Amino acid sequence: MEKTADVVIIGGGVIGVSIAYHLAQKKAGEVILLEKGQLGEGSTSRSAGGIRSQFSTEINIRFSLESLKTFNRFEEEFGVSPDFKQIGYLFLATTQQEMEVFRRNIGLQRSYGIPVELLDQEEIRGRWPFLKVDDVLAGSFNGPDGYAGPSEVLSGFASRARRGGAILYEGVEAVGISVEGGRIRAVKTKEGEISTPIVVNAAGPYASQIGEMAGVKIPVKPLRRQIFVTSPFHLSDKPIPLTIDFHRGWYFRPEVDGFLLSGPLDKEPSFNLNIDYDAMVEAAENATLRVPAFEKARIARGWAGLYEITPDNHAILGRHPDVEGLVLANGFSGHGFQHSPAVGEVIAELIVDGRATTLDISSLSIERFDKGQLILEPMTAFKE
Ligand SMILES: Cc1cc2nc3c(=O)[nH]c(=O)nc-3n(C[C@H](O)[C@H](O)[C@H](O)COP(=O)(O)OP(=O)(O)OC[C@H]3O[C@@H](n4cnc5c(N)ncnc54)[C@H](O)[C@@H]3O)c2cc1C
């Protein structure tokens, strides 16, 4: 184990490895990443892989558009296909209030050149006849949205980060952080201590534990989300979008020969990764309400993962004001996979160039919580 580094990244999910890759690209010196288990074994491997531009805040839209550039040229740049399937995202509104929110969001998204369409009930029925839409007032559809493979994307970043000289350790847990005179001094592991002036917190749902090691509070809570997958099932010969029942916070999308169905999102924070029978029943009920043909489908498997939620459902990016050298890349609130390319870029710029230039990340600083400058969304954010 090395005794010194220029940067130590804690966490080997898609965020940590993207940062490692971008730091290596920018010749940031000795970059070491510590992953306590295997790369990607946290939320990254449990993600549904959704990628969309249909967000309701400018900052999330900007992160999506910047990241999309990387997803579109991923194979060329990383030599691995990200398996990006642009099947579109279809949001369904069933209340007047949701319709108003959709109209507002579409206006914002179109101002960024996103080709999102507002569809009425008849158009939705015509395009996707398997959907039961009697209660649907409108839909918001963006064809270029879709999903990709989190493992493929992670392995692309990881192999190029290694090729660029970054050292990625698996099975090495950060167990402490030394801070002296308000500055980062070292990261402690069971294998030894690494002296470093910079630590990047990329620990996903464990972000607040890393904060505690450095003596600061990071407002990120782990919330369990369950996912279920059907056995092979045929619904239509035409492309089927990732479809969101906005009111229920439920969605489904094709998954290999079957379908991925979202299960419930816990209300109370925990690190519980079990799946429940009740959750499976809820997922199946939501599925048959919106797609009656799913009555004949069988659920074959499921898993649970943890979202890393902040008080305003937006990420925390940037330096910590109280500990010099502590950099935060946390709290993606369910969108970390799709924003990982741009996050890696801006964090590497911040570390190497002194400030992020590709995107302005000042509104995502941790200070916003103390200053009462939370980022407001028109309705509770949808989470994949
Ligand atoms: C069910 C589900 C569905 C999702 N669907 C989507 C989606 O469709 N689209 C999307 O964009 N996002 C989605 N997300 C969110 C996305 O998965 C996360 O935002 C993203 O994976 C966060 O990446 P990360 O690298 O920050 O965290 P993680 O992947 O959790 O990585 C953090 C890593 O840090 C390691 N670690 C923690 N503590 C230490 C320590 N002390 N020392 C060393 N290592 C440590 C962990 O082992 C872990 O591997 C979903 C999440 C869930 C749970």
| Residue range 326-360, pLDDT digits in tens | 999 999 999 999 999 999 999 999 999 999 999 99
Q: Helix 58-72 to helix 336-353 angle, to the nearest 10 degrees? A: 90
What is the rounded average pLDDT of the residues 125-142? Answer: 98
Instruction: Encode pLDDT of 21-51 as tens digits.
Output: 999 999 999 999 999 999 999 999 999 999 9
Can you give the pTM of this predicted structure? 0.98
Predicted confidence at residue 338, as pLDDT, reads 98
Pocket flag, ligand 1, residue 47 (CB < 6 Å): yes
Residue 60: CB atoms within 10 A of its CB come to 23
Distance (Å) from CA 11 to ligand 1 centroid: 9
Q: Which amino acid is at 239?
A: P
What lies within 8 Å, CB to CB, of 275 at 6+ separation is 226, 228, 263, 302, 303, 304
DSSP letter string, 104-169: HHHHHHHHTT---EEEEHHHHHHH-TTS--TT--EEEEETT-EE--HHHHHHHHHHHHHHTT-EEE
**Residues 271-289: tens digit of each pLDDT:** 999 999 999 999 999 999 9
Which of 304, 309, 339, 275 has its CA nearest to residue 205?
309
Distance from the alpha carbon of residue 169 to the mean position of ligand 1, in angstroms: 17
Q: How many Å apart are CA 71 and CA 184, to the nearest integer?
A: 34
- 14 Cβ closer than 6 Å to some ligand 1 atom: yes
Confidence check: pLDDT of 381 > 90? no
Question: What's the pLDDT at 296?
Answer: 97
